[in-house]
Amino acid sequence: MTSVAVVGGGPAGLMAAEVLASAGCAVTVYERMPAVGRKLLMAGRGGLNLTHSEPPAPFLARYGPAAARLAPAIEAFPPDALVAWAEGLGQLTFVGSSGRVFPQALKASPLLRAWLRRLQGLGVELRPRHDWRGWDEAGRLLFATPDGEATASPDATVLALGGASWPKLGANGDWVGVLKPAGVAVAPLKPANVGFEVGWSGLFRDRFAGEPLKAVALTFGRRRVRGEAMVTRHGLEGGAVYALSAALRDAIEVDGSARLWIDLRPDMRAPDLAARIAQQPAHQSLANRLRKAIRLTPLESSLLREAHGKALPAEPAALAAAIKGAPLTFTGIRPIARAISTAGGVAFAGVDDALMLIARPGVFVAGEMLDWEAPTGGYLLQASFATGVAAARGALRRLKIS
């Protein structure tokens, strides 16, 4: 029987294992943690946004420069196929108001449990606590285990080792130190969907860290994004920030800082805001006028002062302009360990169309360890699952099984 090793038991690796085992291969999944799917379970805490319901063209565009190389995998295993797969595991799904797709259970544990049962039924063997260290001189896969070293000589290998965010969940990017010396082109790992540092005043930080800015619009360069942002002790994070984070990260890398603009009332035009503010008696404190006129919260009032300096204009039109465009300077990028996902990874130039490493024939690569990034919205899991399928099918073709 043909044997295939899958290294890394996240969504990409387990999906590769399912495809390979369904085609009749003897599959062993090696995982360094005591259990597989830790990051998938963590994603479940946010409701498990599996994929997105938007049409194929805008969907693919979310992957930016990697879209063309990811397209074959995503077209072969598109969002509909992912939904059907999840439903096949008993997890009915729904499309949220933003177009994002979630399991009705809004968590990952029932899906993972059903999936592991299916994999067991297919004869997939899970070997936890197997930390892959590379290859020995004989070309065998080398693992560190609690019982010492272990080796394996499969007919093909799928590496699905993840990125470097949330390293305590297992993936920490240390595979770069194995693959680069083996001649594999790897783009530097960088934080994606990440928060940024802001030099908040001590008072603001102590009072508002942990509070959300709801229904704001953020503008950086020519992109404007509506959504929520969370004030942290370090700066700002959350959905709207993540949506801009690739461009912000790249700008900070070049310039050392990046300035974005917050619109605290994106649904109101500046003249309407000014008219409402003008109706409030001028003798009141500014915070009171703004609270009564447009329900500006204490967080929003204080943010205006952080952004514009203490001396806010009293004149209604100028105040309205300040509310529609509060400048905030991001002075740094939060560490990759705190990011939702990872940009960079195994370069597409280093793999063939079957996602096989050119420098290491017979070894395929899948998931977040490939060099792509995407915003939150289900695009991360979709590409991880789809490249898991693609790498497994590539291995099957090489093994002449399909």
Ligand X SMILES: Cc1cc2nc3c(=O)[nH]c(=O)nc-3n(C[C@H](O)[C@H](O)[C@H](O)COP(=O)(O)OP(=O)(O)OC[C@H]3O[C@@H](n4cnc5c(N)ncnc54)[C@H](O)[C@@H]3O)c2cc1C
Binding site for ligand X (CB under 6 A): 7-13, 30-33, 36, 38-40, 42-43, 46, 48-49, 130-132, 160-162, 165-166, 170-171, 175, 340-341, 367-368, 378, 380-381, 384
| Tokens matching residue 389 | 């399928």
- Give the Cα separation of 93 and 298 in Å (integer): 38
The minimum distance between CB 252 and ligand X, in angstroms, equals 21
The minimum distance between CB 140 and ligand X, in angstroms, equals 15
The minimum distance between CB 170 and ligand X, in angstroms, equals 2
Of the pair 307, 369, the CB lying nearest ligand X is at 369
Of the pair 145, 257, the CB lying nearest ligand X is at 145
The minimum distance between CB 33 and ligand X, in angstroms, equals 5
Of the pair 133, 292, the CB lying nearest ligand X is at 133
- Give the Cα separation of 60 and 56 in Å (integer): 6
Residue 287 burial (CB count, 10 A) = 17
Residue by residue, DSSP assigns 34-88 as SSS-HHHHHHHHTT---EE-S-HHHHHHTTGGGHHHHHHHHHHS-HHHHHHHHHH
Using the 8-state DSSP alphabet, how is residue 398 labeled?
H
The minimum distance between CB 246 and ligand X, in angstroms, equals 15
The minimum distance between CB 374 and ligand X, in angstroms, equals 8
Give CA 55 to chain center in angstroms: 20
The minimum distance between CB 74 and ligand X, in angstroms, equals 13
- Give the Cα separation of 109 and 115 in Å (integer): 10
Of the pair 21, 319, the CB lying nearest ligand X is at 21
The minimum distance between CB 181 and ligand X, in angstroms, equals 15
Of the pair 48, 70, the CB lying nearest ligand X is at 48
351 three-class SS: strand
93: CB partners within 8 A, 6+ apart:
50, 83, 86, 87, 101, 102, 103, 104
- Give the Cα separation of 108 and 105 in Å (integer): 8
- Give the Cα separation of 315 and 278 in Å (integer): 8
Contact assessment for residue 124 and residue 27, using Cβ atoms and an 8 Å cutoff:
yes
The minimum distance between CB 1 and ligand X, in angstroms, equals 23
- Give the Cα separation of 26 and 321 in Å (integer): 65
Of the pair 277, 383, the CB lying nearest ligand X is at 383
Of the pair 304, 336, the CB lying nearest ligand X is at 336
Question: For residues 335-369, b (16+ Cβ closer than 10 Å) or e, as one string?
Answer: ebeebbbbbbbbebebbeebbbbeebeebbbbbbb
Of the pair 161, 258, the CB lying nearest ligand X is at 161
- Give the Cα separation of 27 and 4 in Å (integer): 5
Of the pair 20, 274, the CB lying nearest ligand X is at 20
